[in-house]
Structures are given as structure tokens and as C-alpha cells.
Amino acid sequence: MIGQGRAAELLYTGRSMSAEEGLAWGFFNRVADPALPAALEAAAELAAAELRACHDEENAAPGMERQPRRGDRDGGAGAGDLHADAVFRRAYEAFAAKRKPVFEGD
């Protein structure tokens, strides 16, 4: 969202960006102080938009149709999703323990 150069700058230097800088770079949509009332307002807007949303694929904008996930035929989680979750969990646990992940052919 902020571009490779800016992202690399933050990553390589470890510096934090201010709220104003993030807003100027387009990393944030809005900045508010205090944050809680603004967050609750945004949540209410999203909830109202969801109620108005059209879930009919025929009326969806091009490219906005529901895309099935791997292994998803009837809307439920398929075996592919469960496998990916297990692999991710193993990788995350290894990362958190600061050790190399072990993938056993799965």
C-alpha cells in the first residue's frame, strides 16, 4: 500500500511511522484521537454496509464474485484448507520458538 521503497525503509531501519506520516502515505484511511469513538463509528458504518450489501453474484461488480477457496465446494472448509492451516501452524510455532520448521512431506 505504501510502496516497496517506503516499506523497505521502515523494515530496514526499524523506525516507527507517526500517525500523520502514515495518513499522508496512504497507509491509514483516517487518524483519530481518541481512537475508540472513531473505531466504533467505523464499525457501525461497516455493519450498516453489510446489511445493504448484495450477495447476489449476478449483481456484483466485475471481479467481486465470491471466489471458492481450495477444497471449498459447498462453502465449508475443505481438506486443502485444513492442510494449509496445519502447515501454517507448524511454521508459526517454529518461528515463535526461534527454530527451523520441520515439514515432513506434508
Return per-residue pLDDT of the chain as tens, 106 residues: 788 998 898 889 999 889 999 899 888 888 999 989 999 998 888 887 766 665 444 555 555 555 554 554 555 555 555 556 777 788 888 888 888 877 776 5
The CA-to-CA distance between both ends of the chain, in Å, stands at: 33
**pLDDT of the residue at 56:** 47
**pLDDT of the residue at 24:** 92
**pLDDT of the residue at 76:** 52
Contact indicator for 2, 27 with CB cutoff of 8 Å = yes
Write the CA distances from 9 to 29, 37, 51, 52, 78, integer angstroms. 21, 32, 40, 40, 39
Single pTM value for the model: 0.39
Give the count of beta carbons closer than 10 Å to the beta carbon of residue 3: 11
